[in-house]
Amino acid sequence: MNGALIIVWLCAAIAAAVFAMMIGSIITFRRPLRDCPPASLSSKAAEILWALIPIAIALGTAIPAVRTIKP
């Protein structure tokens, strides 16, 4: 097994672990709608950016590794 393939599998394992923990925390810590924070404390753009950063890191690591794998 070459190094690039190891990196691809490592990225896949990290992504699976991160998404499993995110889903678990969403299920565990969700609140009823009446307990929503005030609109001034909630930022949808910040929440979306916070979710996209780990995806960008994983893709930035995996794409070069996938390109080096020869069939």
Predicted confidence (pLDDT) per residue in 8-28, tens digit: 888 889 888 988 888 888 788
47, amino acid identity? E
Close Cβ partners of 7 (under 8 Å, ≥ 6 residues apart): 61, 62, 65
DSSP state of 34: G
Residue 63 CB neighbours (<10 A): 11
Claim: this prediction has a pTM higher than 0.85 = no
> 16 or 40: which carries more pLDDT confidence?
16
> 30 or 8: which carries more pLDDT confidence?
8
Tell me the CA distances in angstroms from 37 to 4, 12, 27, 41, one per residue in order.
44, 34, 18, 6
